[in-house]
Structure 1
Amino acid sequence: MSGKRYIFLLVLLCAIFFVNVCIISFRNTSRTKAIHYDPTESIPLLLLGSFRGIAVDFLWARAIARHEEKKYYELVTINNLIAKLQPNFPAVWIFQAWNMAYNIAHEWDAPQNKWKWIHNGLSFAKKGAIKNPTSGDLFFELGYMYLHLFDQRIFKYAPYYREHLKKEDGEDNYEASIYWLRRSLANDPKLHNTLAIERTICHALWHAALCAEKEGNFDRALQYTESAMHEWEAYRTNHPEDTSTKVTEFISMMEKKREFLQSLSLKSTW
């Protein structure tokens, strides 16, 4: 009799597990028109049941404590657990991505070690974007990271990061930044001002132009410059109330850059 009960309970647990997988997969499919769900993630949810909320609260308390203690490596483990328990909570993906790309990367001196953690942070955030396909705030953070972490004025190894991003992921950081920032605008971010995001796109295009010029790709630099001018002109038209941003000065500076790049293009045809 005990053997039959054991088999019955085992079958029941398996049935609950697969029903749970089907339900969550169906929800994700109906919302995103694509399945982005890892069936193994239902295991901790199933086992914890109604205790999941308590576990998450406990882990968040531990995460905050480890962050204050600057125990960033322990924080990685805790945040990964939270992400498993709350995959549709964008804040944990943002928190973890920033922890790896900034806090842990800062702990290292060698550029290859810094890049490892920066890359881990970006990859983690992109995984979170798949789990949260309508999170404008998560998209903004991704776009900003692709812009800020590769800024050569701030990070001396930024060229190294840019080179390895191209080699490992086949991505251009500025193109990636603009892509995620535009997705952020299209998905109604809750924590970020729309005007600020639009300005960030303008700056991303301008920095892309300067980088392309520095790398000797003058045609690409000209394209980025013209795109940046177009974005700033649209911003000025759409937001005349913003008098704090020196839009006219930006456009004037870009017009001079465009003339210079056009002159280089003409010389190359002689």
Structure 2
Amino acid sequence: MGRRKRNVFLLVLLCGIFFVNVWIASFRNTSETDVVRYDPTESIPLLLMGGFRGIAVDFLWARAIARHEEKKYYELLAVNNLIAKLQPNFPAVWIFQAWNMAYNIVSEWDAPQNKWKWISTGLNFAKKGAVKNPDSGDLFFELGYMYFHLFDQRFFPYASYYREQLKTELGEDNYEESLYWLRQSLVHKQKLRNTLAVERTIGHVLWRAALCFETEGDIDKALHYAESAVEEWNGYQMNHPEDVSINVEELIRIMKEKKAFLQGISKKNTW
């Protein structure tokens, strides 16, 4: 690289760093009532065109890894957004950023309202990545898993609040969304997980959905998901008898008992 090119690159890099820092400051100064913003300025990708783009992406990835290790999540947020602009067809950056928002940054807040803002922003970011990468089974799986895991009360005390907000604001049910994206991941190429892991996750989602709707008092939907869970796990046991990582037979027995219990309640409600 000639001296002139090196000088141009350094100038562009300095401009990029400046804008990164500006956006970091804007994220840190976001008040509890502000709308969450995550799109960096559109001018950065225009500056980093041509042969400089690859070098800039390498620099940003190195910085992102360092900020992640240092737990500087807001700076990581800004850096990851720049990478997504420069490398939109690389699923890993969308996965990395969605998890950063929905898990890392969420942990920085106490109020459920603020936590939910970042969770919804992370989910929307992942869905935007899915549009940019329509054949990424890995991205689809991560999105489906987030819709499952983030709304599980066993792990998150505000999960029921998140679920209600999702239904109110977006008209979505997290279990339906989870199943949609997980099933999409089965029909697209994956690098990070095998088919068995995805199929098991689908079975777990169906079962948790049945239990959730029972708790919410929607017996018809609970019964629907319990029946679907039994069918899913029966198919899994038939197709993968060699898998001993989970006691499928015992799980099916428990689900059949729940199914019979829900059928009994459903019949009483129709009398």
Q: Which TM class, normalised by the smaller chain length?
A: 0.7 to 0.9
Tell me the number of residue pairs that the alignment of Structure 1 and Structure 2 aligns.
231
Secondary structure of 2:242's aligned partner: coil
Following superposition, the deviation at residue 111 of structure 1 comes to: 0.3
The reply to whether residue 58 of structure 1 matches residue 56 of structure 2 is: no
**Greater displacement, 194-203 / 40-49:** 40-49
Following superposition, the deviation at residue 170 of structure 1 comes to: 0.8
Secondary structure of 1:48's aligned partner: coil
The corresponding residue for 2:69 is 68
**Structure 1: segments with no counterpart, 5+ residues:** 1-39
TM-score by length of 1: 0.83
- Per-residue CA deviations over 1:177-229 (Å, capped at 9, x if unaligned) read 00000000110211112101100000000000000000000010000000001
Report the CA distance shift for 1:241/1:42 in structure 2 as closer, same or farther (over 3 A).
farther
The reply to whether residue 99 of structure 1 matches residue 75 of structure 2 is: no
Secondary structure of 1:55's aligned partner: helix
Give matches, 1:168-247, under 5 Å.
168-247=169-248
**Structure 2: segments with no counterpart, 5+ residues:** 1-40
The corresponding residue for 2:25 is none
The AA in structure 2 aligned to 1:77 is A
Following superposition, the deviation at residue 46 of structure 1 comes to: 7.3
Report the CA distance shift for 1:83/1:152 in structure 2 as closer, same or farther (over 3 A).
same
Secondary structure of 1:130's aligned partner: helix
The corresponding residue for 2:149 is 148
Displacement over 4 Å in runs of 4+: 40-43
2:99–2:122 contact (8 Å) kept in structure 1? yes
Following superposition, the deviation at residue 244 of structure 1 comes to: 2.7
The AA in structure 2 aligned to 1:131 is K
TM-score by length of 2: 0.83
Structure 2 distance, partners of 1:159, 1:252, is 28
Following superposition, the deviation at residue 255 of structure 1 comes to: 0.7
The AA in structure 1 aligned to 2:177 is A
Report the CA distance shift for 1:62/1:56 in structure 2 as closer, same or farther (over 3 A).
same
The corresponding residue for 1:268 is 269
2:48–2:56 contact (8 Å) kept in structure 1? no
Secondary structure of 2:50's aligned partner: helix
Structure 2 distance, partners of 1:269, 1:211, is 22
The reply to whether residue 89 of structure 1 matches residue 90 of structure 2 is: yes
Q: Report which of the two structures shows the higher radius of gyration computed on alpha carbons.
A: 1
Following superposition, the deviation at residue 68 of structure 1 comes to: 1.1
Following superposition, the deviation at residue 41 of structure 1 comes to: 7.1
